[in-house]
Amino acid sequence: MSKGTIAILIGPEYEDLEVWYPKLRLEEAGYDTPLVGMGDALYSGKWGYPAPADRRVADVDPTTLCGVLAPGGWAPDKLRRDPSVLNLVRTVHANNGLVATICHGPWILISAGIVRGRTLTSTVGIRDDVMNAGATWVDQDAVIDGNIVSARVPKDLPAFARAMLRVLEPA
């Protein structure tokens, strides 16, 4: 029996490890983790690993999700331009579901307008973007601020996974 569904956003040149490590860890914990894209049947990661889309973001009812994961790579720059992606992220956030992001993924949260007044981390490359959007940026392996969980880079994935599960399954 599934504990719930967490949509994992994918797009062209997604960061391979930032999709597959959390996907497998969340599945191990009992969650469904469909890969949700903008319309292509298959996406290639930055390092060439293929990710077949399970669903199109436009076909997902965000009210049925317990969370959304916005991984990094170059995909967030494309994903944040899609109104369906932004609606999904805003709706999950408004429903107090998990909104998890790593590396360049906060670009999607910024475009969705949900970071002002929050504390996040990311790759240092978008630190200014996070701060200019009204968030406090910190240099930590994983940050929990309410229902938003963020991490910096692939080496932080173990801490990121533990933080996601703390939000999904509070003690």
Q: What is the pLDDT of residue 135?
A: 98
Which residues contact residue 65 at a Cβ distance below 8 angstroms, ignoring those fewer than 6 apart?
Answer: 4, 5, 6, 7, 88, 92, 97
Q: What is the pLDDT of residue 33?
A: 98
Which regions in the chain score pLDDT beneath 70?
Answer: none
Asked whether the beta carbons of 142 and 158 are under 8 A apart, the reply is no
Q: Which residues are catalytic?
A: 103-104
Q: What is the pLDDT of residue 11?
A: 97
C-alpha–C-alpha distance, residues 43 and 15, integer Å: 11
The pair of three-digit structure tokens given for residue 104, joined into one six-digit string:
């360049």
Q: What is the pLDDT of residue 171?
A: 76
In CATH, which of 3.40.1350.10, 3.90.1820.10, 3.40.50.880, 3.20.20.70 is domain 6-168?
3.40.50.880
Which residues contact residue 94 at a Cβ distance below 8 angstroms, ignoring those fewer than 6 apart?
Answer: none
Residue type, 160: F
Q: What is the pLDDT of residue 132?
A: 98
Q: What is the pLDDT of residue 52?
A: 97
pLDDT tens track for 74-109: 999 999 999 999 999 999 999 999 999 999 999 999
Q: What is the pLDDT of residue 106?
A: 98
